[in-house]
Amino acid sequence: MLSHVDNTAAVRAIVREAYVAGARRVSVHYADPHLRRAAVELGPDEMLGRSAPYLVDWYASWREEQPALISVHGDPEPELLADLDPERVARSEPVDLRTLTIGLVTERLVNWTIVAAPSAGWAQTVFGEPDVERLWDAVATAMRLDEPDPVGAWRDHCRTLRSRAAALNEHGFDTIRFRGPGTELTVGLLPGSLWVGAAATTRSGIEHVPNLPTEEVFTTPDWRRTSGVVRSTYPLAIGGTIVRDLEVRFEDGRAVGIEASSGVDVVRGQLQRDERAPFLGEIALVDGTSAVRKTGLVFSNTLYDENAACHIAYGSGLPFAVEGGGELGTDELVGAGINVSPVHTDFMVGSPEVDVDGLAADGTATPILRGDAWQL
């Protein structure tokens, strides 16, 4: 397990359940973003972004060991690094560790999930006061814990997402178009792009829900075929900074113009991280029935906010979301239109005011979302 150091209560509860479920060993690495802050502020330049070798070795060992991975997010201080040199912040990202986990995920070697645990700091960010109880209530809504049978509710919901994905796959759209205030964007899909959602299955056959909550159906687009402009509809918490009012212009797939009212340098830093970071790796559709949306809150936490609204991600694609993609080697993916990058950052572009259409190869448009309502 990986967790922020402030989320001990949730971690301890999960560890106990893991043993009850038959785990032989539960190992937890508590990460502390203040240590990253110290390294950015005071550490030597050449060490930025170089994770401790013992952690790199540990992550690397998962390829062989194939453990179940649980990440407990819920950053109590999402703006912890916002006042630091953005260039050093960008370089301090643990890209070495992320590259290892992205490899495990794209090759479907491990069953994994990400959850978020309420903390005083996160509640402060959401409500302007550290009302943890209120945040737990919101999390209970978003996580369907307020249903009489939460597990049953999740199974039903996963069926809904799978039927949405099936409908999208049946249509076989060539392009997805977003139109709304400040947004006029087309995202070209691959002929083999597969819409997927809810549960995933490892190569060894273990079914798992990789994010909780999850409200999206998603696929990997052709990294060469995004163009237009898009205005983000939610703040975006990344790299210890909150990016607000993000606007991105794409040309021939590449993000070429980046503006924001705060945090723009962190996005620019990520996009400069490697040559493939500025291309899209994911497109995801979420409608207004989302349990996260029902809370009416902005969580400033991507796990939650990306499940309240349609979103796109620059950086790494998801090979399993492309027909035959899971069998391609890393060096074949880019040629097949599937992006490869150590970066993968989702940002929200959907809202009731943003229309989403599926376009056929001849340009015929089919409404997918209108006023947040699912149309297919």
Residues lying near a copy of itself in the complex (CB under 8 A) are found at: 5-6, 8, 11-12, 15-16, 19-20, 23-28, 30, 32, 34-35, 38-39, 41-44, 47, 50, 52-55, 57-58, 61
Q: Which is nearer to a copy of itself, 12 or 155 (CB)?
A: 12
Q: Which is nearer to a copy of itself, 50 or 91 (CB)?
A: 50
Q: Which is nearer to a copy of itself, 28 or 336 (CB)?
A: 28
Shortest gap between Cβ of 13 and a copy of itself (angstroms)? Answer: 10
Shortest gap between Cβ of 28 and a copy of itself (angstroms)? Answer: 6
Q: Which is nearer to a copy of itself, 41 or 247 (CB)?
A: 41
Q: Which is nearer to a copy of itself, 57 or 332 (CB)?
A: 57
Shortest gap between Cβ of 4 and a copy of itself (angstroms)? Answer: 11
234 in Cβ contact with 292 (< 8 Å): no
Shortest gap between Cβ of 173 and a copy of itself (angstroms)? Answer: 45
Q: Which is nearer to a copy of itself, 15 or 158 (CB)?
A: 15
Shortest gap between Cβ of 359 and a copy of itself (angstroms)? Answer: 49
Shortest gap between Cβ of 221 and a copy of itself (angstroms)? Answer: 37
Three-state SS sequence of the chain? CEEECCCHHHHHHHHHHHHHCCCCCCCCEEECHHHHHHHHHHCCHHHCCCCCHHHHHHHHHHHHHCCCEEEEECCCCCCCCCCCCHHHHHHCCCHHHHHHHHHHHHCCCCCEEEEECCCHHHHHHHHCCCCHHHHHHHHHHHCCCCCCCHHHHHHHHHHHHHHHHHHHHHHCCCEEEEEECCEEEEEEECCCECCEECCEECCCCCEECCECCCCCEEECEEEEEEEEEEECCCCEEECCEEEECCEEEEECCEEEEEECCECHHHHHHHHCCCCCCCEEEEEEECCCCCHHHHCCCCCCCHHHHCCCCCEEEEECCCHHHECCHHHCCHHHHHHHCCCCCCCEEEEECCCCCCEEEEECCCCCEEEEEECCEECC
Q: Which is nearer to a copy of itself, 97 or 348 (CB)?
A: 97
Q: What are phi and psi of 344, to 5 degrees?
A: -155, 100
Shortest gap between Cβ of 75 and a copy of itself (angstroms)? Answer: 14
Q: Which is nearer to a copy of itself, 11 or 114 (CB)?
A: 11
Shortest gap between Cβ of 66 and a copy of itself (angstroms)? Answer: 14
